[in-house]
Each structure stands twice: as structure tokens, then as C-alpha cells.
Amino acid sequence: MGKIILFIVILSTALRTISTPFLGSMAYYCLAILGPQYIWWWNFEGLRVTLIVALSTMIAFGYYLISGMINFALLYTKLNAAVVVLWSALVLSYFFGSYTDLTMASRNGLPWILLNSANKIFLFYLISTVLIDDLKKAKVFSGIIIVSTIYLIYWANYQYFTQNWYAFNHGRLMGPHSITGASIYADENTFAMFFVSGIPFLFYFGLYQLKGIKRYLLWLLVPMGWHAIFLTGSRGGLVGLSVTLFMGVMFSNKKKLAFLIIPLFFVAYQWQAGALLQNRSSTIANYERDSSAEDRLEAWAAAFNMMNANPLTGVGIGSFIQAMYDYSDKQPRATHSTPLQFGAEAGYFALLSYCYIIIYFFYRSYKIRSFLKIFKHKISDEDWQVLMYLNEANIISFSGLIVCSLFLSLNYYEIFFYLLILFGFLNYFMKSKLNEFNGGFNTLYCEDRV
């Protein structure tokens, strides 16, 4: 019965997407962020759900493109130019990287798999960038991460309270996965980073979009989200959570509420973090006691050697571990650093474009905050509340994600691109309003077209 219902839902979504391609983007990022195909995997067996969603969305997008219904101002920005450079560098690294194998026998290898994954991720990022073209759509789009966070907080805590120890790997909670082990959150660090990214959206949606009992009921989930991170035993998740809390206090206009969260977090940590995470977290700043820190430094040194030897193409997408045999006398291992993995595998252009995206995001997000303070009286209260919710949640979520990306491999993490889509729309919206308010003379932004 579940499979029949799912088939009907997918078919109706695909048909509706033909006339409303925005629904295709919603469905794609629901699959990419919530991962229902791994939670209820038995219903998804035999159904090419991702393929159906992708094809229907691309057909609809093609029709909109031919019909002239696409607003290319959303696409032609410096942010998207940097994204395209990063994508191009990854593609070139596959074909010209010194460690990638282009024979047919390699078509099931990691480089080929990563290239296909990257092409899908970047393509849907660019498609979604132009389909989310108004504030209402942006708000609805943000609902994906809110619903996903609420459900996965429930899922994570349910595994703990029902003592389903099969969901734990040596005491650390893994994300939901199919019977074959396939999952977007199989790694505990990746699962923890989902909660780091999602919790700010719960908090700021409650702050700016809800009132009364609904707000406090939603906020009750925040400590449960912290507990979900504790269950993963991820030090990266703990660092990311600390960053989001710090940024929340710094940005908040309600200082009393913000400062109340800090002692609440420490109480929750001492009470619920458990011996595993507390022992692991005690080594975060202690290099001598932490062998994984030494491992990371050895991998990072090898990454710099690879970049210097292959500055234009890197060693090839998905080839870091293989190449490390020749660029280090240490045991080959994963990079454990998103920017350094981009640089080592795809060259300096990939590294620089990734860094530019991050700098650009924070710089423009600060400008958006300035805009919201200066022009609050010129925007309707309802729109202003939505803009504040989206911008504050987005920048704090992105902050936690980026800090952890420095020492975790999150190169093909869909949430990164999801947050960029929301930011890209906010940046476009603010620029459009500034031109309107100032008669075309933009005093807060510089021109943002490429």
C-alpha cells in the first residue's frame, strides 16, 4: 500500500511539475535533504524517484526557457559565475587530472560516481536559482529544511529512547539508511552537520513567523536537536553548534533571549552529551592527545603538495587517497577539509572559486542586514519578518557549516547549495528593492551582474 501511495504522489508531482517547475525543485531538495528514500526505503525499491523528478523538472525548465518565462537576472550574478568556475574545474579535473582513469573499466569507480553526482548537484542548483523568483517561493522553499529538521530530530531521539542500538556505530548515531547501507547521512559527522544547519531555521522561524504557544512548542525541539548532535558523537557537530550559538548571540536583537540560550546549552551538554562525546570533545584543542588531528595535518600537507604539483587540474576528482601515496610518506587517508580537497583534486581555480563563494556570501549577507535596518519602513511588516527570518537563519546556518567544512570533507553536501539558493534570491531581492527605492541608484550594493 505504501508503495502505491508513493507512486501516486510521485506521478502527480511529476505531472504538476510540467506546469509548475518550482515543485520539481522542491521535490529534488526534499529527496536531497530529508532523504525519504533512505528512511522508508522499502517503499522506494524499484522506483526511480530521483530520475522521475529530475526529468520532469528539466522538461518544465526547458519549456519555460523556450517560452521566455525565465528571469535571467537571477542567474547572471558573480556568485553563480564562481559556482560555474568551481563546477568547470571539477569536470576538467576528471578529464585531465593526473590520477583519473578514463577507460570504460573505471565507469563504476569513485571519480566517475563523484562527477555524475557533482553534475546533478550543480545543474539543479542553477535551475533552482531561477525558479525561486519571489519571496513567497523562497519562504516555501525554506520549509524543506524546517520539515526535515523536525522529522530527523524525532527520528534521532526515537532511536535513542527506544534503545535501537543497531542505528549506532560504536556508540555514535548514524543517519537513516537503506538495507544496503546507502544513505546521505551514513557518516556520523555528516548527520551531525545536518542538525547544525537546520536548527537555526527552527529558531528564527519561531522568532519571526510564529507567536504564542506555537513559537514555544517549536523552540522545545531545539534542545532535542542538540541532543541529536550529542548522539552522533561528532566533535565537528559540537564545534558547528557552538559557532551557530555564538553567531546567534552576536546577531540577535533580543540579547536577553540569546544569552539565555548559552547556559541552557551548557546544562544540556553536561546532562545529555554522554561520556563518549565529552571524552572526544576534550581533545578538540589538544593536538598531542588527538591522533585524528595529526592525521588531518598530514593529509593537509599532502593536499598542498598536490596543488603545487598540479595547479590547474589537480590530481583528479575523487583521487586524493590514491594520489597521497605519491605525495606523502604517511598513511593515505581522506582530506578532512572541503577547501583543500577541492584544491588538491581540482586545482587552484576550484579552491579560489570556493573561497570566493564563502567571502561573497558573508559580505552580501551583511549588506542584506544593513538594508533591512535602513529600509524597514519601506517594506511591509509581513515581508520584513520573512526577510529577517530567511537572512538570519541562513547566515547562521552557513556559518556553522563553513567552519566545520575546514576540517570535514563536505564537498558534495547538498545543504551548502540549498543555502546558496536562498542567499542568491535574498541578494537579488534586496538589490531590486534598492533600485526601486533609490530610483535606480544603488547606494548600498555595487552592481552584481557578470
The pLDDT assigned to 34 comes to 95
Query: Chain-wide mean pLDDT for the chain?
Result: 87
Tell me the percentage of the chain whose pLDDT exceeds 70.
87
The CA distance from 147 to 31, in Å, is: 12
The pLDDT assigned to 361 comes to 97
Count of beta carbons in the 10 Å neighbourhood of residue 120: 16
Q: Of the given ranges (53-57, 248-252, 376-380), which has the lowest mean pLDDT?
A: 248-252
Q: Of the given ranges (7-16, 103-112, 369-378), which has the lowest mean pLDDT?
A: 103-112
Cell 538495507: give the residue. 179
pTM for the complete prediction?
0.92
Task: Tell me the per-residue pLDDT of 99-115, one tens digit each, with 9 for 90 and over.
Answer: 987 765 566 688 999 99
Confidence of residue 301 (pLDDT cuts 50, 70, 90): very high
Confidence of residue 287 (pLDDT cuts 50, 70, 90): very low
pLDDT over threshold 80, residue 368: yes
Structural contact between residues 327 and 310, judged by C-beta atoms closer than 8 angstroms: no
The CA distance from 224 to 144, in Å, is: 19
The CA distance from 449 to 426, in Å, is: 15
Rg (CA), the chain: 22
The pLDDT assigned to 392 comes to 95
Count of beta carbons in the 10 Å neighbourhood of residue 117: 15
The pLDDT assigned to 215 comes to 94
The CA distance from 200 to 396, in Å, is: 7
